[in-house]
Structures are given as C-alpha cells and as structure tokens.
C-alpha cells in the first residue's frame, strides 16, 4: 500500500477504509480504557494526526515500550471522523511497525510540547554527533 501524507489526511472530508502513515511520534497518552492516543507527524505540515491504538492489538504488547516520543513508526489503519475536540479526522490503527527508536539517556531532559527558546534547549541538551 502507498503511504499517504498527513497533510492530505487532515484535509480529507471523507473517511477511508485503509491508509498508511509513516512519521515520528510527537506525543503519546495511555488511557485506562485499554487504548493509547499517539500523535504522529511526517513533516508534510505542522499539524499532527491522532492515532488510536487498542492495547489488544497483536503487535502492541511487543512494541509498547518502543513507542516513545521521537520513535519512527508506520501505521496502517482506518481514517475516521474524530469524536474528540481539536481534530476533524483520526486514524484507528490496525497494524504498527517501529522503524527507529529514540536514543534515550538515563538523565535526559524531556522537552514538553510547548515552545522553548533555543537558548533553553542549548543550555540543557548537549549536541550529539
């Protein structure tokens, strides 16, 4: 299946049975209801698309610890209208594949999703070659 850019999905007005999205995890929120919200960005626009992942999904138990901010994923699923506020469309995941992991350090500083000045970032994060 051919990859679809997030920009195209966010501008879509109708649901689609099957879409393939590849991108980086911006945020992840786990719910006690047995599912997770993952926001993915592929660089085609500034906005992210929300992906709903059921914890009962076959691959999820194996990949759970690998899906962190910065990880690169391929998600195949269904594009549906969102019931939540803030977005028109979202993806209900059918399959997940992890392409790349985040390089985490024990004492790494986590950056929140709100904007930080470059000075703040440079003072707290060493440059990696």
Q: What is the pLDDT along the chain (129 residues), one digit of tens a residue?
A: 899 999 999 998 899 999 999 999 999 999 888 999 999 999 898 889 999 999 998 888 888 888 888 889 999 999 998 887 778 899 999 999 998 876 655 445 555 555 666 676 666 655 544
Q: Is 3.50.50.60 the CATH classification of the domain at 6-102?
A: no
Q: DSSP letter at 44?
A: S
Q: DSSP letter at 46?
A: S
Domain range annotation of the chain: 6-102
Of the CA atoms within 13 Å of residue 45, those in its CB half-sphere come to 11
Closest CA to 49 of 27, 69, 64: 27
Kindly report the backbone phi and psi dihedral angles of residue 66, in degrees, each rounded to the nearest multiple of 5, phi listed first: -90, -15
């Amino acid at each position: 299946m051919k990859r679809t850019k997030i920009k195209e999905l966010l501008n879509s007005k109708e649901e689609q049975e099957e879409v393939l999205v590849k991108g980086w995890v911006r945020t992840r929120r786990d719910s006690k209801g047995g599912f997770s919200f993952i926001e993915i960005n592929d660089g085609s626009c500034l906005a992210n698309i929300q992906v709903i992942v059921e914890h009962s999904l076959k691959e999820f138990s194996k990949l759970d610890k690998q899906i962190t901010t910065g990880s690169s994923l391929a998600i195949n699923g269904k594009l549906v209208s969102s019931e939540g506020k803030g977005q028109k469309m979202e993806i209900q995941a059918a399959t997940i594949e992890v392409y790349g992991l985040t390089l985490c350090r024990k004492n790494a500083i986590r950056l929140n999703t709100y904007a930080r000045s470059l000075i703040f970032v440079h003072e707290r994060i060493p440059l990696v070659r």
